[in-house]
């Protein structure tokens, strides 16, 4: 084991800077993925066959492809058709597209877990479908999907490690650079592991808290 405390402490600032980049990417992708997932989830339960089919196709394709493939396709493939995006933009887009597919299924399951009689009752009172969905169904579904959404956020934070392959100075990339710079493997990656835990443990605690609070009885 080649752990050296002096090396660990020396590379910690660089790793912390990489952790900030990781947190920024994860936050941006989580917010955009939530938008994709909400729209996709609503489309999945829509009465419109075209919307349902498009959303289902999106989910099947994205969930069937490794995130790394999507990331590399966007980074190297889009320029070949004249679409030039920065590496951070590609990273957030790839992460949010992937995250959105899983959030779509979470939202769909949350909506479908609500008794259908509530929608029929709302419609019988004169509410339109969008109004009933917004005021009656979604608020209840939102409480039920919070725990799985936080669980998906944890996965998203860990998935950001893949963006290092397109030369983004995230936490993992900072660890690799420090390893090369210091010719020491264990010390930098002890810091990498520690900082990933700093990012994910609060989400794990939040996930556990939400599961207890919103457990369906």
pLDDT digits 0-9 by tens, 66-100: 999 999 999 999 998 888 899 999 999 999 999 99
Q: Based on the number of CB atoms within 10 Å of its own CB, is 102 exposed (0-12), middle (13-18) or buried (19 or more)?
A: buried
Host domain of residue 22: 5-213
pLDDT recorded at residue 44 = 94
Strand, helix or coil at 114?
A: coil
| Residue 81's CATH number | 1.10.3720.10
Q: What beta strand segments (E) does 38-174 contain?
A: none
Total of domains in the chain: 1
In the chain, % of residues over pLDDT 70: 98
The pTM for the full model equals 0.90
Instruction: Answer whether residue 7 shows pLDDT above 50.
Output: yes
pLDDT recorded at residue 8 = 87
For residue 158 the two structure tokens come to: 């860990």
pLDDT digits 0-9 by tens, 92-113: 999 999 999 999 999 999 999 9
pLDDT recorded at residue 1 = 58
Find the length of the chain: 217
């Amino acid at each position: 084991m080649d752990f050296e405390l002096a090396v660990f402490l020396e590379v910690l600032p660089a790793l912390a800077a990489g952790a900030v980049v990781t947190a920024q990417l994860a936050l941006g992708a989580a917010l955009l993925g939530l938008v994709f997932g909400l729209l996709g989830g609503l489309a999945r339960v829509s009465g419109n066959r075209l919307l349902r089919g498009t959303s289902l196709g999106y989910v099947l394709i994205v969930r069937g492809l490794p995130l790394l493939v999507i990331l590399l396709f966007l980074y190297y493939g889009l320029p070949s058709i004249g679409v030039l995006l920065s590496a951070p933009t590609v990273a957030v887009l790839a992460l949010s597209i992937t995250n959105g597919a899983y959030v779509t299924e979470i939202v769909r399951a949350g909506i479908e877990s609500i008794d259908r009689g509530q929608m029929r009752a709302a419609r019988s009172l004169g509410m339109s479908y969008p109004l009933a969905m917004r005021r009656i169904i979604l608020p209840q579904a939102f409480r039920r999907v919070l725990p799985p959404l936080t669980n998906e956020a944890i996965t998203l934070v860990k998935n950001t490690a893949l963006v290092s392959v397109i030369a983004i100075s995230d936490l993992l990339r900072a660890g690799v650079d420090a390893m090369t710079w210091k010719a020491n493997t264990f010390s930098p990656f002890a810091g990498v592991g520690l900082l990933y835990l700093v990012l994910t443990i609060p989400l794990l605690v939040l996930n556990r808290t939400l599961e207890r609070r919103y457990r369906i009885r």
